[in-house]
Amino acid sequence: MAKKKKDPVIEELPPAPIRYQPITETLETNYMPYVMTVIVSRAIPEIDGFKPSHRKLLYTMYKMGLMNGPRMKSATIAGRTMAIHPHGDTGIYETMVRLTRDYEALLHPFVDSKGAFGKQYSSNMKASAPRYTEARLESFCTEIFKGIDKDAVDMVDNYDGTMQEPVLLPTTFPNVLVTPNMGIAVGMASNICSFNLAEVCDGTIAMLKKPSITTERLMELIKGPDFPGGGLLLYDAAQMRQIFETGVGPVRLRARYRYDKDANCIDILQIPYSTTIEQIIDKIADLVKSGSLKEITDFRDEIDISGFKLTLDLRRGVDPDKLMAKLFKVTPLEDSFKCNFNILIDSVPRQMGIAEILREWIVFRMGCVRRELTFELNKKKEKLHLLEALAKVLLDIDLAIHIIRKTEKEAEVIPALMEGFDIDEVQANYIAEIKLRALNREYILNRIAEMENLRKEIAELEAILGDDLKIKAYIAAQLTEIKKKYGKPRLTQIMDAGDAKTFNEEDAVENYPVKLLMTREGYFKKIAITPRTQFSVEDQKMKDGDIVKTVLDAENRDELVFFTDRCQVYRAAVDDFDCLRAANMGDYLNTKLKMDEGEKPIYMEVRKNYPEGENYIFVFENGKAVRVPVTAYVTKGTRRKLTGAYSDTSPIVSVFTDTDKKPIDILMISSLDRAILVKSTLIPIKTTRTSGGVQIMTLKKGHLAKATADFGDNYQNVKSYRKLKVPASGTLLEEKNVEIQQIKIDTD
């Protein structure tokens, strides 16, 4: 078989060189351009209050003639916008949806919509496909495009150089504070809430008049955020001042509601801007299922053509205001809007307070006005320049006619007029185009009057352009007109945070006396005590072989602590348990408190606080014991479970409590029926919960089987077991001592 020849060309090719690129170079050349594109060209709004997607969409609609014309299909608008925003029609349509009147996300919508566009307060209500909906620009948009055709802003080529688009829109009011905006870039984000247009205009006018305006004065004029969804703003002066000065901080919002006494229901009519009705309903449903919200019998979404409504049906006797205070605490009916005023200024992101934003907007707006007025000034000067030539011609119309008639070639008419009347080429062209019928007395007088008006207007424009104070007055006049034309009352009402009713769990829980029982097998029972209640431990139903281990008097608002045989502590409210009858076996604590498998409670107590000088006493099978201050069990928040409650070096026998001022007697009995009686003060205090303690009872054989502080008359001659020093060996119980029992029999 012939041997296959190798390809000589392949053999001659050298191996591809390996190029190692430093991570810093990779970040600089590959990652940073992407980061800057996201920050500058996508996610962060600029001083005109728009992100690029908003600006490109609105400008496209403006060029399509949708400012005054009939509505057009949304699909057509999205398609046309792709000429300057090539990011897919789906994304463009979603952008338009958020700007529409029907979506209700803006105080002053930019798009007049027709069709189903969804709602900002619902995640389930979606917009219809763009082929079904129609849109055009709202009349309010005249204020964001005013001057755009008069060189008010820079224009740049679109991505393929076929048309031009504005870098910014020349908004005549601080739209950056009126239109809410949110954007997430790379390494930074922006979250701008909306403010009332009339208040923003007042604040801006005040700053135009006095650039050094104080924060206090600005806060008087711009009272706080005003959200499209309304709601109630819990006003914290210190927090609001921080937002005004730094642009960062939370704003607390509450839903607004009314109580229908006849139907015994609460109608929630406005919710915080930062949440949705689905989030609220889901949370209420979870609370109702878990039994934490027993005051509500039913709840439903009743949104209709008249607007938002969420209805809660109440149980008889429920206080609606207390219930709402509870719902504000445990559901998104009270929520926070986290302000982060991050705005692009000359393509550089800056975090600014409201005063600084207004100053930057004034600088931007003054530049727009100056360019717009300069454009008008040049136009008027050009027109005056033409009319001045006309004035020269009108002095000798016959000469002009003579020049035109005597000129042999058409191309020589303009040079002849220029020479005959000492005018330039532009003026000569204008004269040559005048129709013969216009050369009458009325036309001549009107043009002369127009020249006088033009000279006055030019003088006025030059005076404004030459004085920054006059430009500011011009802007202030525009703002006053905008406020008068478009200003609306606040939708979000303001309440002092200190006056807001807060939820008090104790007030929400009905209080009454109860008996609490815990059995050896870990069953728990709560029994309501009334004047007619005949309580008896013997009447309580229990599992076969089970006995009642602990009986406590308590109230329904109390808190419970359970120590278990696995060195853990569980906390629960008495109200977490339902009242039961004597014939009921009770709640199994392992299941109710979600304990570990096989875990059993060994000690239960009612605990309202953790005072200094009070201790837990732990007694172990190895004869050791320890006292631990109850302050060692204080936790932050409302933790329901605490591990490492005591030492695990030996099985636990009993748990007690004492105080430094009121020690207790503890009777300890070994498995060999030997006993000692000691004061709890003999047991040392250790600050560490898991301390193994010290030897209290000496055990040569067997183990400590029982420890009790409630021995009563259960044992004979208990005082004989008293020990004054520890460790101590036990004395045989008299009940088990045959000699002592025989002496007693003989005596009897």
Same fold? 50-170, 256-332: no
pLDDT in tens, 604-660: 999 988 999 999 999 999 999 999 999 999 987 777 899 999 999 999 999 999 998
Q: Which CATH number fits domain 256-332: 3.40.1180.10, 3.30.1360.40, 3.40.50.1360, 3.40.50.11540?
A: 3.30.1360.40
Question: Using 50, 70 and 90 to split pLDDT, how confident is the model at 389?
Answer: confident
pLDDT digits (tens, 9 = 90+) for 55-91: 999 999 999 999 988 999 999 999 999 999 888 889 9
Beta-carbon contacts of 280 under 8 Å, excluding residues fewer than 6 positions away, are 268, 271, 310, 331, 332, 333
Q: Please tell me the distance from the alpha carbon of residue 447 to that of residue 391, in angstroms, as a whole number.
A: 8
In the chain, domain spans: 50-170, 256-332
Confidence of residue 507 (pLDDT cuts 50, 70, 90): low
Report the amino acid identity of residue 164.
Answer: Q
Whole-number pLDDT of residue 539 = 83
**Nearest partner of 280 among 330, 319, 232, 336, judged by Cα:** 330
Under a CB-based contact definition with an 8 Å cutoff, are residues 276 and 121 in contact? yes
Residue 271 · residue 229 · CB < 8 Å: yes
316 CB neighbour count, 10 Å cutoff:
6
Per residue in 271-298, pLDDT tens? 999 999 999 999 999 999 888 888 899 9
Token couple for 456: 């006055």
Return the SS3 of 307: strand
Residue 113 — very low, low, confident or very high, per pLDDT cuts 50/70/90?
A: very high
Distance of alpha carbon 509 from its chain centroid, rounded?
29
CA terminus-to-terminus distance, the chain: 124
3-state class (DSSP) for residue 552 = strand
Q: For 309-342, how does the pLDDT look when each residue is reduced to its tens digit (9 = 90+)?
A: 999 999 888 889 889 999 999 999 999 999 999 9
What pLDDT, on the 0 to 100 scale, is given for residue 10?
52
Strand 232-235 to 493-496 pairing = parallel
pLDDT band at 504, cuts 50/70/90?
low
Spatial distance between the Cα atoms of 381 and 211, rounded to a whole number of angstroms: 34
Most confident option among 435-449, 525-539, 571-585: 571-585
Q: Which of 399, 369, 356, 86 lies closest to 247, judged by CA?
A: 356
Catalytic, 132? Answer yes
pLDDT score for 505 = 61
> For the residues 568-579, what does the mean pLDDT come to?
90
Reported pTM: 0.73
Q: Enter the tokens of residue 398.
A: 């016959």
pLDDT above 60 (res 7): no
Answer yes or no: is pLDDT of 401 > 90: no
Conformation bin of residue 78: beta by default, left when phi > 0, alpha when psi is -120 to 50: alpha
The three-point CA angle 489-492-498 to 5° equals: 125
Neighbours of 597 (CB within 10 A): 5
What number is the average pLDDT over the span 570-579? 89
Class in CATH terms, 50-170: alpha beta
Name the token pair of 280: 């609220």
Catalytic residue among 132, 259, 646, 721: 132
What is the pLDDT, as a whole number, of residue 413? 85
Q: What is the mean pLDDT of the chain?
A: 89
C-alpha distances out from residue 162 to 81, 165, 174, 381, 597, Å: 13, 10, 31, 32, 73
Q: Which segments of 559-711 are extended strands (E)? A: 559-564, 568-573, 587-588, 601-606, 614-620, 624-629, 641-643, 652-659, 665-670, 674-679, 694-695, 697-698, 704-708
Greater confidence (40 vs 180) lies with 180
Q: Report pLDDT for 134.
A: 96
- b/e per residue, 626-657, with b = 16+ CB within 10 A? bbbbbebbeeeeeeeebeebbbeebebbbbbb
Please report the pLDDT score of residue 4 as a whole number: 53
Instruction: Say if CB 156 and CB 165 are below 8 A apart.
Output: yes
pLDDT band of 366, cuts 50, 70, 90: very high
11 Cβ contact partners less than 8 Å away, ≥ 6 residues apart = none
* More confident position, 636 or 427: 427
- Check whether 592 has a pLDDT greater than 80: yes
